[in-house]
A and B are shown apart, each in its own frame.
Chain A
């Protein structure tokens, strides 16, 4: 929707950040308005209309607001501003550039420009006069922190157009004209590098959205090896507090094989955002040699920032992701935590006195979550290139109980489930992803299986299944040992248990704070898995269960030292040889 005449209204009711506005004129659902509080304009979004009464959720504190205050409706929905300069920025949930705000404390109604209007970008044309184009097509390109930032035909333009002119290669600001295109009626439209897009609407300018099929390497063994996620895939990480959701997401953002990383800190701790922009500018992107921060954008709507903007923040992040996907880039999108987003929906729904669903969440929670996850995906663009958004959200289940509405709704929407297990976390078995309950539905896709075989090896999945079986059998053996006692079971049960402990310690457990172990590339994962499986297939001779324990602990210790050593370094080789030695001692 776009409307040129602004509708005016007056505040008629205030309940926390829900404000009722009496209007005289047309207003649209989800339209943006500004409440003209004497101190500063407060931005709000229409969420319900009842006759002349328009209910708006205010993105700021309403302290001091009075009845009768003027409200101006903007004639558009909540939008993001798209153009070069988004990468390495830190925005709030409404895409205000936090670095541009003055002072230590956030000031309400302080809205800052997400882009740099002065900076000149090095533009190279892609389209030429006479080309037929539609929304999302590439007109030109500027380098943005080493990434090719394509300048697109604005998403909002419907129908087909002909390129009339594109400026010559050279330096331009985002607001300078870079192309003129002509619509079917012959009207010229002047374009700059900037466009706007309503965040709650999915960008669908791609040609095709096939099922995702390509492995996305994350560097986390228990994900890549056991339950891989794919480019354009979706996953979620539910877990009680303190079990490692955020650490895992940060680790994936650092090491996953993505071009662009967008992190939505949604209703979580400010210190965790600080951690990102303290560490990422120091860390090197293994692929490009540039700093990680240069390919990262943070949407920070931390828990103490206004609740309504928290709801908006995940959409802002998704819209930015869709923009970069349309440039043919691999986007990794993280949201921590989607439960906080759901809670923001709940707070508002309660204030609106809507009929509550389970745990007082809104009735349409599942629908909202599902349609959000559906915006991720792998796409082919009109020019044959491909792009993707891989989305991983965390879920913070109340009381750690997975049978609660947000977890259950998300399970319907996401294809990978990385459940964090309290017992594993308590035992410092990080990442605490439960190897048995977790799953990747992508392993059921023949095209994914094909891709894994091609990229890793023909027998890779057989090996993975062997490891999974070992874990299962180890768990059963442990239960038996617990019931019958160490001496009450055959020695073989202890061997079974320790084989699974070996897989657990070497493959599943990974120390995110160790500079080497933190990232395990695929070839290294393959090597270690094969090595571990070799050991589990050996026939050792043991006298007693204690003998088994002690021996396996030595093996595990040596394997772990390998994990801590640089790949193929001298120390790595030394431990590898040490391992061979230990094995020889016992072979039958």
Chain B
């Protein structure tokens, strides 16, 4: 395929580990791609004439006399309108049975946007899910993950958000997706008639784990093409970034690097930041918004993967099963959209910030009341009222199956305030109480 006549072919591998091969070669560039025994590989270290290559599919069965061909280029992708509606693997080869795409060849993992050429994100993304739009509004150019337990319906919520978000392009980067989830995405996008807006790069659980490392770069290079050159609003979905990070640790362990916390490489922060920071709002209107999934291990957010992610992204969305109402909700305590203040009360109604905060404060009071109740103490009248409020709020606002507009979310919340509290218990700027509290 990519082998060309003038390329020098090597046939003498000196060292072989599970993930790497070493050979003597000259005129090789750092991070250059190569084919080792027909498998994709990349240069990771050069010492004089000794070159070490990482083989993405692993080295099983590679003999010491295998053919090694250097391709003289870094990882690349072909971009163009033809990408729309297509499914590719980590190397950019079609996996949907369709033809190869034609397009412009660009290097992946390229340089970052000059910070002074960015614009402050300022466009609200409405999802209809009140737990997101009311309490954790998303903005174009934002990067935000779902922190979810493996058994939660994060891929469904993400697909919903993607379809309602009014993006020009949706780019799915699937890492370690189960075949069922892969088909799920394919179906929902198809059923919504949205396939022509969607480009997918998928590494399934059937593929080699290390190949996943290429997925975010592929997805984001394509996103950059649409957002910068075509000035489109692009939404990138990355699921599951925990499996991506696991692949990083596999590689660094095999390369004998000193692990830091949770056997993750010391560069985990930079590795993840390089991906998430591709989220951008351009002045010309094009944007890349990244919604990712980071699955948690036993809900532990202090683990290096969610921890570093939290330090990079602009907030996080937590899903939680609320057993009192029997629904999955967007947890208002631990979820946070850092960019919400750029739009709430500006692109949404003026009372939005205050209503949001007041409701969460009251919801917190309910949590305290619940603790009291669980510890067998008597509840005050106020406690009882907060509990009732919390239940209604959970059902009518926080549940992920809600689909209403922001005005309605605010009105509903005011109704809940009035049904359960006195004016001064709500602590909202007087001018808003005067305006929105019905007599």
Contacts and interface: CB of A to CB of B under 8 A. Distances in A.
B112 A561 contact: no
A241 B118 contact: no
B277 interface: yes
Interface string B29-48: 11110000000000001111
B334 interface: yes
A101 B45 contact: no
B273 interface: yes
Given A267-B273, A269-B314, A553 B115 contact: no
Interface stretch (A9-17, A195-203, A211-219, A437-445): A9-17
A104 interface: yes
B47 A274 contact: no
Nearest to B368: A482
A254 interface: no
A106 B121 contact: no
Interface stretch (B189-197, B242-250, B255-263): B255-263
A271 B307 contact: no
A487 interface: yes
B164 interface: no
B68 to A, nearest CB: 17
A66 to B, nearest CB: 5
B116 A64 contact: no
Interface residues of A, number: 73
Interface string A512-540: 01000000000000000000000000000
A564 B433 CA distance: 15
Contacts of B48: 12-13, 67
B258 A98 contact: no
A296 to B, nearest CB: 14
Contact of A270 (B47, B118, B360, B371): B118
Interface stretch (B321-329, B376-384, B398-406): B376-384
Given A14-B46, A269-B312, A346-B260, A99 B116 contact: yes
A346 B47 CA distance: 22
A340 interface: yes
B29 A64 contact: yes
Contacts, number: 191
B120 A271 contact: yes
A557 interface: yes
Given A303-B273, A546-B381, A105 B30 contact: no
B418 interface: no
Nearest to A346: B266
Interface string A102-144: 0111111000000000000000000000000000000000000
Contact of B312 (A303, A343, A398): A303
B49 interface: yes
B266 A104 contact: no
A90 B338 CA distance: 23
Contacts of A469: none
Interface string B99-121: 00000000000111111111111
Given A14-B30, A553-B424, A553-B427, A400 B364 contact: no
Contacts of B74: 63-64
Contact of B261 (A67, A350, A399): A399
Contacts of B341: 513
A106 B116 CA distance: 10
Contacts of B115: 90, 98, 270, 273-274, 300, 302
Contacts of A400: 302, 307
Nearest to B279: A271
A466 interface: no
A104 B282 contact: yes
Nearest to A18: B45
Contacts of A398: 261, 304, 307
A486 interface: yes
Interface in B399-439: 424-425, 427, 429-430
Given A104-B282, A270-B112, A270-B113, A553 B360 contact: no
A538 B39 CA distance: 80
Nearest to A279: B120
Given A15-B45, A104-B228, A486-B380, A65 B29 contact: yes
A272 to B, nearest CB: 9
Contacts of B114: 98, 101, 103-106
A347 B267 contact: yes
A453 interface: no
B433 to A, nearest CB: 10
Contacts of B378: 485-487
A14 B190 CA distance: 46
A428 interface: yes
Interface string A206-226: 000000000000000000000
A360 B266 contact: yes
Interface in A340-378: 340, 343, 346-347, 350, 356, 359-360
Nearest to B118: A274
A4 interface: no
B5 to A, nearest CB: 22
Contacts of B111: 61, 105-108
A455 interface: no
Contact of A13 (B28, B46, B310, B429): B46
Interface string B113-152: 1111111110000000000000000000110000000000
B30 A359 contact: no
B28 A104 contact: no
Given A14-B30, A399-B302, A105 B110 contact: yes
Interface string A258-296: 000000000101110111011000000000000000000
Listed residue (A108, A240, A270, A400) with the most chain B CB atoms within 10 angstroms of its CB: A270
A430 to B, nearest CB: 10
B308 to A, nearest CB: 8
B372 A106 contact: no
Nearest to B342: A275
B30 A64 contact: yes
Given A67-B46, A303-B312, A560-B427, A549 B113 contact: no
A485 B383 CA distance: 13
Contacts of A346: 260, 266
B313 to A, nearest CB: 9
Most chain B CB neighbours (cut-off 10 Å) among A103, A307, A346, A350 = A350
A396 interface: yes
B381 A303 contact: no
A271 B333 CA distance: 24
A277 B283 CA distance: 14
B343 interface: no
B353 interface: yes
Contact of A485 (B49, B360, B377, B381): B377
A307 B314 contact: no
Nearest to A22: B48
B113 A106 contact: yes
Contacts of B186: none
Residue among B45, B228, B267 with max Cβ neighbours from chain A (10 Å): B267
A277 B32 CA distance: 38
B83 interface: no
Interface string B13-38: 00000000000001111111000000
Contact of B357 (A304, A399, A428, A556): A428
10 contacts: A14-B30, A64-B31, A66-B46, A101-B116, A241-B310, A303-B277, A304-B273, A304-B278, A343-B270, A347-B267
Given A267-B273, A399-B307, 7 more contacts: A269-B314, A270-B115, A304-B274, A360-B260, A398-B307, A545-B380, A550-B425
Q: Which 10 A-B pairs have the closest CB atoms?
A: A303-B273, A399-B302, A304-B277, A241-B310, A485-B377, A304-B112, A64-B29, A360-B260, A278-B120, A241-B311
